[in-house]
Structure 1
Amino acid sequence: MHNLLQHLVNDNELHSKWLNTLSFMENAGARKISLCEHPSKVDLLQLKHAAEEHRHAYYLKKQIGKISPKSCVTYTNDELLAAKATRYYLDILDVKTSRYLKTHFELSGYALKHAAYLFVTYAIEVRADELYPQYQKVLTQNKHKVMVKSIIAEEEGHLEEMILQLQNFHKDWEQHAHAILLMEQSLFTEWITAIKTELKDA
């Protein structure tokens, strides 16, 4: 992963696309959180998460200006890395998680949506807690103008909040969360492989 990040950071065009790709995923996450909201029973924490994910998407998009101000203005496929894998990453994880939870907890409707929100968000926060520090390490080593330290701090807080909610959801939450993490790991591996393949074929 370090070598890939180093390669991306060393190329302004690729680095811009990388930031835009991360921005897209943060935005997709925020939109997913909003879609999981109950029409009336929405708590402060869920609103906070959606707002912060949207802010992360904005922050990452804004960082592109430090590299190439006119690059990656939108989220069109040519402005993303591994566009297909990027676009379906969260959707596939959400579908697989929902199927798992429906089978193991016999949930439906908003109860299923809320449970999927808890487990998918947990898995994504675990990934963010691993990926962003690796990225920041490469940025620091290269004395780069781009920084993601503020996102790291907030993602750590998100993870703690999701753990507390999952503890309230079910006493054996860790067993089920492990199954969801395995699904996410597979999707992450496919995503990184798709990025590497795209760079190799470019």
Structure 2
Amino acid sequence: MMIELENLIGIIVKNNDLHARWLNSLSMMENTGARKISASEHPTQVNLTILKHAAEEARHAFLLKRQMSKLVPLEQYPTYEAPYLLAPVKSYQYLQALDVAASRYVKKHFQLADYDLKYAAYLLVTYAIEVRADELYPIYQKVLTREKSKIQVKAIIVEEEGHLQEMVAQLKDFSPEWEQHAEAICAIEGKLFTQWIAQVGKEVEQTALV
């Protein structure tokens, strides 16, 4: 996966249109993550870590979106509508499908409901996403550095590493068997990510043939 992913990103980075839509897709996912964190919050029992995480995910979405202007005029990709993304259907479905699967998993393995269920699903989903981010963004940055691109994601990498450490700490407090539960959700995420990247690859190949 790592070599294939690096090669795919290398092709994307060399094409401004593909690169802009790639950035927009990542921005959309970061924004979706921020909104899902906020949606999972209890009306009053919100700690500093959750607020920090939601704020940083929203800022990542902003930073990725803003960097598109280094490649193309922003008005070419003004929103997160399908024409402005790579693999839009899979991009939209990725976090939603993971969230649904995690909620079902929590219902099956824990006696939780309402906000307790949402919080448990948030912990597991966010952990899986941070594990993925710790793989994806460094590969992306490696390609950006190699290609001497104006785009940079170093700041995001640092914050995502911090997020992962925070999620591990919260999961340890949540369940002594947190690792086996996190592994199960990561397996689901892995399948969804593979499907998304496969569709991105198809669109990149089609563009290369034009």
Q: What TM-score results when the alignment is normalised by the length of structure 1?
A: 0.98
Cross-structure match for 2:134: 129
Q: What aligned pairs does 1:47-62 form with structure 2 within 5 A after superposition?
A: 47-62=51-66
Tell me which residue corresponds to 1:171: 176
Q: Distance in 1 between matches of 2:11 and 2:204?
A: 10
- 1:19 match: 23
Shift of 1:198: 2.0
Deviates more, 1:132-141 or 1:61-70: 61-70
C-alpha deviation, 1:72, in angstroms: 1.4
Q: Summarize deviations over 1:89-118 as a string: whole Å, max 9, x none.
A: 001000001101110112111110000010
* Partner secondary structure for residue 40 of structure 1: coil
Give 3-state SS (helix, strand or coil) of 2:185's partner: helix
Q: Which of 191, 197, 201 is the matching residue for 2:196?
A: 191
* Superposition CA RMSD, Å: 0.8
Q: Aligned equivalents of 1:198 and 1:96: distance in 2?
A: 27
Q: Shift in Å at residue 40 of structure 1?
A: 1.0
Q: Matches of 1:165 and 1:109 in 2, distance apart?
A: 19
State the distance in 1 between where 2:98 and 2:182 align. Answer: 13
**d(CA) in 2 for partners of 1:162 and 1:27?**
18
* Inter-partner Cα distance in structure 2 for 1:69 and 1:123: 33
User: Which residue matches 1:97?
Assistant: 102
Q: Where do residues 10-89 of structure 1 align in structure 2 (5 Å cutoff)?
A: 10-70=14-74, 71-89=76-94
Distance 2:23 2:43 in 1: 33
| 1:24-55 superposed Cα distances (whole Å, 9 cap, x missing partner) | 00000000000000011111111110000000
Count of aligned pairs between the two proteins = 202
Residues 146-171 of structure 1, C-alpha deviation per residue, up to 9 Å, x if partnerless? 00000000000000000000000000
Structure 1 residue ranges, 4+ long, deviating more than 6 angstroms after superposition: none
Measured at CA, do residues 73 and 127 of structure 1 come closer, stay the same or move farther in structure 2, by a change above 3 Å?
same
| Per-residue Cα deviation, 1:51-86 (whole angstroms, up to 9, x for no partner) | 000000000000001111233111110000000000
Give ranges in structure 2 of 5+ residues lacking alignment. Answer: none
What TM-score do you get using the length of structure 2 for normalisation? Answer: 0.95
Structure 1 unmatched ranges of 5 or more: none
Query: What's the CA shift for 1:201?
Result: 3.3
Instruction: Measure, in 2, the Cα distance between the counterparts of 1:201 and 1:136.
Output: 24
SS in structure 2 of the partner of residue 42 of structure 1: coil
Which letter does structure 2 place at the counterpart of 1:39?
A: P
1:143 maps to which of 125, 142, 148:
148
